[in-house]
């Protein structure tokens, strides 16, 4: 349990630094697999004709699904599939991690056949006291998704709690 967490100047230096862009693909297979995996049964996620009848170009992405990062061996993170070494990393000695939640804001439909260019950045660092964890470092990250037409279609904001 961390007794005192100090946010250093070196840690603050990563705030706002955008990653290299990375490609995410939205395929009919990935939309169907995600929808099935989370238990959706609406035909728009499985049947292109049903999706088009509902006004979509193709199968729409289910809520929170933004496509699948393209994995390139030697250039991608084995964990998250994003680009390796695309910016400064946050250096800390906190071994434990909790998911602090994710919010997604949509600006346009995202459908099978879309290709998204994604960038991410650390948006904020804060320290809070947890009831059972002691102090926690809360890392807020933001991801911006731009479609093949150059439109920002979604932004995702997530928090990771390190202690």
CATH number at residue 147: 3.10.129.10
Same domain, 94 and 17: yes
- The structural domain count of the chain equals 2
Q: Which domain holds residue 54?
A: 27-65
CA distance 77 to 162: 20
Instruction: Count CB atoms within 10 A of the CB of residue 158.
Output: 17
pLDDT tens column, 11-38: 999 999 999 999 999 999 999 999 999 9
Domain annotation covers residue 36: yes
- The pLDDT score that the predictor gives to residue 2 is 61
Domain annotation covers residue 1: no
pLDDT tens column, 69-100: 999 999 888 877 778 876 677 888 899 999 99
Domain annotation covers residue 4: no
Same domain, 128 and 58: no
Same domain, 14 and 82: yes
Signed CA dihedral, 132, 134, 139, 140: sign only: positive
pLDDT tens column, 103-134: 999 999 999 999 999 999 999 999 999 888 88
- The pLDDT score that the predictor gives to residue 1 is 62
Exposed / middle / buried, residue 44 (Cβ in 10 Å: 0-12, 13-18, 19+) = buried
Same domain, 53 and 105: no
Instruction: Count CB atoms within 10 A of the CB of residue 31.
Output: 27
- The pLDDT score that the predictor gives to residue 21 is 95
- The pLDDT score that the predictor gives to residue 110 is 98
Same domain, 130 and 60: no
Same domain, 21 and 76: yes
Domain annotation covers residue 18: yes
pLDDT tens column, 48-62: 999 999 999 999 999
CA distance 101 to 99: 6
pTM for this structure? Answer: 0.88
């Amino acid at each position: 349990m961390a007794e005192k967490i100090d946010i250093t100047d070196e840690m603050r230096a990563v705030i706002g630094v955008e990653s290299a862009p990375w490609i995410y693909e939205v395929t009919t297979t990935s939309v169907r697999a995600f929808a099935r995996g989370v238990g959706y049964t609406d035909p728009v996620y499985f049947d292109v004709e049903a999706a088009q009848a509902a006004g979509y170009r193709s199968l729409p992405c289910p809520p929170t699904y933004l496509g699948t990062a393209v994995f390139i061996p030697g250039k991608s993170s084995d964990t998250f599939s994003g680009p390796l070494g695309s910016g400064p990393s946050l250096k800390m000695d906190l071994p434990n991690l909790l998911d602090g939640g994710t919010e997604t804001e949509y600006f346009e439909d995202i459908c099978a056949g879309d290709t998204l260019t994604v960038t991410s950045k650390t948006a904020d660092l804060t320290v809070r006291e947890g009831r059972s964890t002691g102090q926690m470092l809360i890392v807020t990250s933001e991801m911006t998704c731009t479609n093949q037409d150059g439109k920002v279609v979604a932004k995702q904001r997530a928090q990771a709690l390190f202690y």
